[in-house]
């Protein structure tokens, strides 16, 4: 069967006479070529990302050499920018499979073509999660201590071990789904549903689990009353399903505008509809949390007081959290307008605002107040150091690199005519 994939080149075409092993290696090689070939803008983007990633890498190397003291963290606020970003990224990874639900549970054929964008976001986001955890470790050279069998894996008691399992499992799931679909496209065969549909269903449930387990990391700690709330896991899910679709809507718009991908407004419209509901749920849960904290007036609420109003002269996070609330409300108002999908500028603004709002609220707005005041009620504020910002930028750049490469490889899937089976 001849290969009529739209961007094939004779040199690395699959050979139907040879087996899967040979063709898979060819697929990887071709993907590598696809990933490093493009327009001038593409090279500029990739070079920029690589440069930022290298700056981050150097900052991380300095941190390894001199110790975590180069960060702004201390024994009072012992988690900071890295874990804040990690928490946010887990949500983004979970939200990435939002599109899977309408496509597969509701048999929406048109969504199928763009589902891969969400799944690739999940892969890139998990890579960033792993990146943020590794840069936060005091001894990354000892990561092998976690491997069951050769290390000591404190499962099922430690929630961190659950998190390791679910995050890596989620990564493997999405790698398999994306890899399988792209490989089938490469060798010009129709994907067999048995090999990916069950995994897609599992990934829907698994997406819920990654964020629930991450929330359990925090809400299981009795000594941290700011986190020790049953609402934490549902709040994580609600905000994940705001940030994920927001990012994907932005991504789809970029693909349409800059990569020539043809698609109707329908996937964007579905995602915007999802966001309309989840952003309101997010605001409702925020209101519930705020009421519970402030109505009772117990000293357990001092962390919330620090976050929203400042405490004893310390008010570092107050402008941040109110910005996040304002952005969330504005985004909700914009999204609720009936014709917002047609107004691309309004939609873009709403998505950017929602994304930033969740980044603040689930990042610094969640992690830092857990430590302020400390368990002995000392008020020690935290400011990330330059090295922390550099490393954060580096991990983001690495994640965007992965995402860009994944999309570049996956473009053929998206540029086929609508209606073609995938």
Partner 1 sequence: MGLKAPLYFHPLVAVAFLSVGAWWLCAVEPQKTSGPAVPVSGSSTGATLVRHAVNIKSGPETPTVLTNALTHTGEPVPVACSTCHATRTPDLARRRAEEMKDFHQGLAYKHGDQTCLSCHNAANYDTLHRADGTSVDYPRVIELCAQCHGPQHRDFQAGAHGGMNGYWDLSRGPRERNTCVSCHDPHAPAYPKVRPVFAPVDRGARQQHSREQAHEAKESAHE
Partner 2 sequence: MTRRNALKIAGATLGAAAFAKAIAPIAEWGAEESVDEFLQKHYRELSPEALAKVITRLEQETKEDYGAEVHISDPRPQEGVKFGYALNLSICVGCRRCAEACHKENNHDRPSGNSYIRVLEMQKGSIDLAQGNVTYTHPVSDSEKYYMPVQCQQCDNPPCVHVCPVEATWKEKDGIVVVDYNWCIGCRYCEAACPYHARRFNWTKPEIPKEEINPVQAYLSNRIRPQGVMEKCTFCLHRTREGRLPACLEACPTGARVFGNLLDPKSEIRWVLANKRVFVLKEELGTKPSFFYFFDK
Q: Give the binding site for partner 1 (CB under 8 A).
A: 74-77, 104, 107, 153, 155-156, 190, 193-194, 197-198, 201, 312-314, 374, 378-381, 421
The binder of partner 2 chosen from 74, 292, 346, 348 (CB under 8 A): 74
Cis peptide before 373 (omega within 30 of 0): yes
Residue 373 touching partner 2 (CB under 8 A): yes
- Return the closest-CA partner of residue 107 out of 183, 200, 27, 181: 200
Q: Nearer to partner 1 by C-beta: 47 or 158? A: 158
Look up tokens 């790698």; give the residue.
175
> Cα angle vertex 11, ends 416, 178, to 5°?
40
The reply on whether position 16 binds partner 2 by CB under 8 A is no
Q: Which sign, positive or negative, has the C-alpha torsion 337, 241, 262, 111?
A: negative
C-alpha distance across the termini of the chain, in Å = 17
Distance in Å, CB of 192 to partner 2, minimum: 36
Q: If binding means CB under 8 A, how many residues of this protein chain bind partner 2?
A: 58
Contact 164, 154 (CB under 8 A): no
CB of 227 to partner 2, least distance (A): 9
- Minimum CB separation of residue 37 from partner 1 in Å reads 32
Other C-beta atoms within 10 Å of 415: how many?
Answer: 16
Identity of the residue, 32 or 148, whose beta carbon is nearer to partner 1 in the bound complex:
148
Structure tokens at 208: 């819920």
Which listed option, partner 2, partner 1, none, makes contact with residue 190 (CB within 5 to 8 Å by class)?
partner 1
Nearest alpha carbon to residue 129 among 210, 208, 200: 210
For residue 344, give the 3-state DSSP assignment: helix
Contact with partner 2 (CB under 8 A): which of 6, 10, 21, 75?
Answer: 75
Of residues 285-314, which lie at the interface with partner 2 (CB under 8 A)? 299, 302
Query: Is residue 349 a contact partner of residue 337, using CB atoms and an 8 Å limit?
Result: no
Question: Which candidate, 58, 92, 137, 91, places its Cα nearest to that of 394?
Answer: 58
Binding partner 2 by CB under 8 A: which of 42, 79, 180, 389?
79
Residue 313 binds which of partner 2, partner 1, none (CB < 5-8 A, kind-dependent): partner 1
Nearest partner of 363 among 324, 306, 396, 390, judged by Cα: 324
Cα distances (angstroms) measured from residue 223 to each of 226, 294, 367 = 9, 19, 14
Contact between 109 and 135 (Cβ < 8 Å): no
6 touches, from partner 1, partner 2, none (C-beta below 5 to 8 Å by class): none
- Both tokens of 239, joined, read 């905000």
Q: Pick one of partner 1, partner 2, none as the site partner of residue 158 (Cβ within 5 to 8 A by kind).
A: partner 2
Q: How many CB atoms lie within 10 A of CB 50?
A: 13
User: Are 411 and 262 in contact, with CB atoms under 8 Å apart?
Assistant: no
Q: Which is nearer to partner 1, 313 or 319 (CB)?
A: 313
Chosen residue from 5, 13, 28, 64 binding partner 2 by CB under 8 A: 64
CB 341 within 8 A of CB 406: no
Please state the closest distance from residue 224 (CB atom) to partner 1, in A: 17
Over its C-alpha atoms, the chain yields an Rg (Å, rounded) of 22
Please choose which of partner 2, partner 1, none residue 193 contacts, taking the beta carbon within 5 to 8 angstroms, the exact cut-off set by kind.
partner 1
Which option in partner 2, partner 1, none does residue 117 bind, with CB closer than 5 to 8 A by kind?
none
Determine, following the binding rule CB under 8 A, whether residue 151 of this chain makes contact with partner 2: yes
Shortest distance in whole angstroms from residue 50 CB to partner 2: 6
Query: Of the two residues 71 and 174, which places its CB atom closer to partner 1 in the complex?
Result: 71
Among 4, 6, 10, 141, binds partner 2 (CB under 8 A): 141
Cβ-Cβ contacts under 8 Å for 271 (sequence gap 6 or more): 98, 99, 245, 248, 249
Token pair, residue 149, equals 């069998």
| Choices 60-68, 104-112, 201-209, 334-342 (CB under 8 A): range interacting with partner 2 | 60-68
Q: Does 132 bind partner 2 (CB under 8 A)?
A: no
5 scored as a contact of partner 2 (CB under 8 A):
no
Residue 393 as a binder of partner 2 (CB under 8 A): the answer is no
Residues lying near partner 2 in the complex (CB under 8 A) are found at 36, 47, 50, 54-55, 57-58, 61-62, 64-69, 73-76, 78-79, 133, 136-143, 145-146, 151-154, 157-161, 164, 217, 220-224, 299, 302, 370-371, 373-378
């Amino acid at each position: 069967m001849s290969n009529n994939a739209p961007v094939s080149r004779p040199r690395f075409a699959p050979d139907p006479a040879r087996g899967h092993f040979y063709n898979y290696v060819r697929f990887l090689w071709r993907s590598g070529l696809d990933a490093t070939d493009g327009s001038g803008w593409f090279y500029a983007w990739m070079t920029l990302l690589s440069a930022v990633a290298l700056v981050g890498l150097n900052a991380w190397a300095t941190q390894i050499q001199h110790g975590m003291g180069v960060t702004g963290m201390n024994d009072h606020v012992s988690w900071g920018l890295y874990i804040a970003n990690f928490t946010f990224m887990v949500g983004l990874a979970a939200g990435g499979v939002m599109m899977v639900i309408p496509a597969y549970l509701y048999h929406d054929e048109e969504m199928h073509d763009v589902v891969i964008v969400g799944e690739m976001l999940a892969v890139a986001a998990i890579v960033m999660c792993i990146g943020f955890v590794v840069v936060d470790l005091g001894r990354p050279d000892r990561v092998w201590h976690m491997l069951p069998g050769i290390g000591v894996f404190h499962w099922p008691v430690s929630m961190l071990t659950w998190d390791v399992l679910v995050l890596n499992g989620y990564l493997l799931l999405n790698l398999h789904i994306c890899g399988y679909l792209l490989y089938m496209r490469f060798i010009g065969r129709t994907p067999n549903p048995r090999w990916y549909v069950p995994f897609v269903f599992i990934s829907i449930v698994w997406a819920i689990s990654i964020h629930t387990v991450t929330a359990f990391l925090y809400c299981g700690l009795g000594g941290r009353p700011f986190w020790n709330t049953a609402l934490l896991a549902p709040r994580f899910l609600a905000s994940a399903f705001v940030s994920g679709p927001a990012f994907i809507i932005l991504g789809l718009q970029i693909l349409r505008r800059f990569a020539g991908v043809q698609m109707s407004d329908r996937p964007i419209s579905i995602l915007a509809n999802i966001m309309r509901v989840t952003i309101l749920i997010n605001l409702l849960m925020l209101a519930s949390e705020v009421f519970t904290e402030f109505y009772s007036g117990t000293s357990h609420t001092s962390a919330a007081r620090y976050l929203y109003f400042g405490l004893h002269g310390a008010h570092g996070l107050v402008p941040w959290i109110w910005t996040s609330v304002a952005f969330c409300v504005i985004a909700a108002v914009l999204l609720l307008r009936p014709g917002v999908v047609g107004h691309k500028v309004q939609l873009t603004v709403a998505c950017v605002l929602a994304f930033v709002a969740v980044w603040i609220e689930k990042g610094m707005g969640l992690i830092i107040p857990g430590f302020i005041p400390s368990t002995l009620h000392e008020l020690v504020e935290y400011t990330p150091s330059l090295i922390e910002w550099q490393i954060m930028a580096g991990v983001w750049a690495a994640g965007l690199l992965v995402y860009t490469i994944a999309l570049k490889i996956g473009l053929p899937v998206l540029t086929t005519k609508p209606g073609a089976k995938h």
